[in-house]
Amino acid sequence: MNRVAQRRRQLLLGSGAALLAAPLTASQLTPTPSQMLGPFYPVTPPLHKDNDLTQVEGRSGRAAGEIADLYGRVVDMDGRAMAGLRVEIWQCDANGRYRHPRDRQAIAEDPNFQGFGHTITDDEGRYRFRTIRPVPYPGRTPHIHAAVFQEGARPFVTQIYVAGEALNLRDGLFTRVPEALRPLLLTEFVPVEDPVASLVAKFDFVLSPILAGLFEAHHA
């Protein structure tokens, strides 16, 4: 692992300070709630250097599951675009298995699912991933892990949930979020006409100078 990647992982696994956000003004957006990192962040930086999780370099197949395009923007509390930030996502495959040595479930791993991807926000703060609609994992509702990296700040880590998913209200991490803030972690996967993707979902990250540096360094 190179020094940059090692430092990035140390930041992800470090403990966040317990800071309180300043009161919002009427014109400010509510920051996206932070969530736990979880145990399946890549142990070493993956060789895959793209934002398409549905194809693995060197393989001709495509991932099982419902192919979905996840897109949105990263903005600050005033709605201003945050350009040039690295956005990462990781999730289990359609079988409910993570591409990670700590996932020891006795189920097959989808060899065509990358499991992790990253991209850089453009001048308008936009990002985009091609992945699959998340599926349940033992003990968890369907979700996608996400991290956003800012220069000089701890990575902002959260989880993206599926709107209307029945398992959400039985998920310990989702229900730990105050009820009024839960909609900020939800996205709808909507059918779309596309040669590859059958669904599309929009999720915006709203970061604040304080909340951008916070996350719970516990595993779930």
Domains of the chain are: 3-15+28-213 (2.60.130.10)
pLDDT of residue 100: 84
Is the pTM of the predicted complex or chain greater than 0.95?
no
Q: What is 118-140 written as a DSSP string?
A: EEE--TT-EEEEEEE----BTTB
**Cα distances (Å, whole numbers) of residue 24 to 30, 31, 179, 208:** 7, 9, 18, 10
> What's the average pLDDT block by block, 10 residues per block, for the chain (220 residues)?
43 36 72 94 77 92 97 97 97 93 87 95 98 95 97 92 97 97 98 96 89 39
What is the strand order of the sheet 186-187 is part of?
A: 116-120, 86-90, 143-149, 156-162, 186-187
Q: What is 70-93 written as a DSSP string?
A: EEEEEEETT--B-TT-EEEEE---
User: What element of type H or E holds 196?
Assistant: none
